[in-house]
Amino acid sequence: MADTFFELQKEGIFKKVLYGAKGDLPSFPDGAKATFHYRTIKTDEEKTVLDDSRNIGKPMELIFGKKFKLEVWEKLLKTMKVKEVSEFTCDRKHTAVYPLVAKSLRDIYKGKGSGHNHSGSHHCCGMAMFSEQGMGYHDLDELVKSPEPLVFVLELLKLELPEQFEQETWSMNENEKLNNIPKLREAGNESYRLKNYDEAANKYAQALTMLEDLMLHEKPGDDDWKKLDDLKRPLLLNFSQCKLLTGDFYPVITHTSEVLARDPDNEKALFRRGKAHAAVWNATEARRDLTRVTELNPKLEAAVHKELASLESRIKEKEAQEKSSFSGMFSS
């Protein structure tokens, strides 16, 4: 432990343990996730508190090895045991970027930032640029103009190894996303088999998000882009089927239309879009899609006839109700 303190001091960091913890110092491999509270304090006489995650009510999460902008936090956490609380006084060479990080975190907590916000967990993987108008926070503007040493009080609440938690999309590299897509699809299929359609839709949606992120790095129409697009279409169809079964019809129309833009004669997409159109009273579109299904596959004529008959019956019933309501307006 003495060596750790000495190494930190050589880098302009002074550590003071406020609350010790039992056990050995854990390892912090790349991909591990630390959950911790932080308090940032100025070194003025008043010990002015700039930020305190406990006041916000949500701890910070940091994935090691993901190039977090405030690099010194990774260094500090790697000297801590779980449940330890320590105070670190850091030279300004380590804290110059703090205003950018703090602005991003504050904006996220207020719900107006462009950072990632997943199920209440906050991350800071993208920094807002410093504009001519300033940071939007007076205390941070002052730090930008006059960088100074800062004190960080950290409490390491939890440390999870990569295999112990479900990694979020924003923190994955391209290979990790590509490897997770088939796993998410299979998890969605399993939930679907169990008739847990909302959970299945969520898994398919996660896989689609990863695919779309990967496709942004490829040129549309190139071989790699086409391979990703081929993976996307079955996920869109599966997602649409889940939404159809849960009565959420407009996403069905949107996602099956995306499939049909690439594969105009896809029977599943036409049939599901036709059913969704029928459910939201788009009668012309429903008839068009369902009729096309029978043209492509006469074996589905009975299923299509059932859907069309149901649609016509509902239309007649609706017209009768409207006629009755209309005539009632003029009855004595």
Beta-carbon contacts of 143 under 8 Å, excluding residues fewer than 6 positions away, are: 50, 98, 99
Q: Is the dihedral of CA 176, 181, 186, 190 positive or negative?
A: positive
Q: What pLDDT does residue 248 have?
A: 95
Do 67 and 202 lie in a common domain?
Answer: no
For 111, the 3-state DSSP assignment is: coil
Tokens of 75: 């260094």
Residue 168, domain member (yes or no): no
Do 313 and 209 lie in a common domain?
Answer: yes
Q: What pLDDT does residue 323 have?
A: 75
Residue 166, domain member (yes or no): no
Return d(Cα 247, Cα 275) in angstroms, integer. 11
The answer to whether 162 and 29 have CB atoms below 8 angstroms apart is: yes
Return d(Cα 19, Cα 83) in angstroms, integer. 8
Domain that holds residue 273: 174-326
The answer to whether 126 and 9 have CB atoms below 8 angstroms apart is: no
Residue 169, domain member (yes or no): no
Residue 118, domain member (yes or no): no
Measured torsion, CA atoms of residues 25, 28, 34, 40, in degrees rounded to the nearest 10? 70
Q: What pLDDT does residue 127 have?
A: 39
Return d(Cα 259, Cα 270) in angstroms, integer. 9
Q: What pLDDT does residue 58 have?
A: 86
Do 152 and 64 lie in a common domain?
Answer: yes
The answer to whether 208 and 236 have CB atoms below 8 angstroms apart is: yes
Do 290 and 248 lie in a common domain?
Answer: yes
Amino acid making up residue 198: D
Do 7 and 129 lie in a common domain?
Answer: yes
The answer to whether 205 and 243 have CB atoms below 8 angstroms apart is: no
Output the pTM of the full model. 0.56
Q: What pLDDT does residue 114 have?
A: 42
Return d(Cα 86, Cα 323) in angstroms, integer. 75
Tokens of 266: 């896809």
Do 234 and 91 lie in a common domain?
Answer: no
Return d(Cα 197, Cα 28) in angstroms, integer. 37
Tokens of 66: 């993901």
The answer to whether 86 and 15 have CB atoms below 8 angstroms apart is: yes
User: pLDDT digit string (tens) for 61-107?
Assistant: 998 988 788 999 999 999 999 999 999 999 999 999 999 999 988 88
Do 137 and 17 lie in a common domain?
Answer: yes
CATH number where 178 lies: 1.25.40.10
The answer to whether 158 and 82 have CB atoms below 8 angstroms apart is: yes
Give, for all 332 residues of the chain, the pLDDT tens digit.
667 888 899 999 999 999 999 988 999 998 899 999 999 999 999 999 999 999 887 899 998 988 788 999 999 999 999 999 999 999 999 999 999 999 988 887 776 544 433 333 444 443 344 444 577 899 999 999 999 999 999 999 999 987 776 666 666 778 888 888 999 999 999 999 999 999 999 999 999 988 988 888 888 889 988 999 999 999 999 999 999 999 999 999 999 999 999 999 999 999 999 999 999 989 999 999 999 999 999 999 999 999 999 999 888 888 777 777 666 555 55
Residue 83, domain member (yes or no): yes
Beta-carbon contacts of 253 under 8 Å, excluding residues fewer than 6 positions away, are: 273, 276, 277, 280
Residue 165, domain member (yes or no): no
For 35, the 3-state DSSP assignment is: strand
User: Nearest-CA neighbor of 28 among 72, 1, 63?
Assistant: 63
Do 134 and 253 lie in a common domain?
Answer: no
Do 6 and 107 lie in a common domain?
Answer: yes
Q: What pLDDT does residue 68 have?
A: 83
Q: How many domains does the chain have?
A: 2
Do 197 and 107 lie in a common domain?
Answer: no
What are phi and psi for residue 325, nearest 5 degrees?
-65, -40
Tokens of 252: 């069905």
Residue 117, domain member (yes or no): no
Residue 66, domain member (yes or no): yes
Q: What pLDDT does residue 107 have?
A: 85
Return d(Cα 240, Cα 273) in angstroms, integer. 9
Do 145 and 39 lie in a common domain?
Answer: yes
Do 1 and 136 lie in a common domain?
Answer: yes
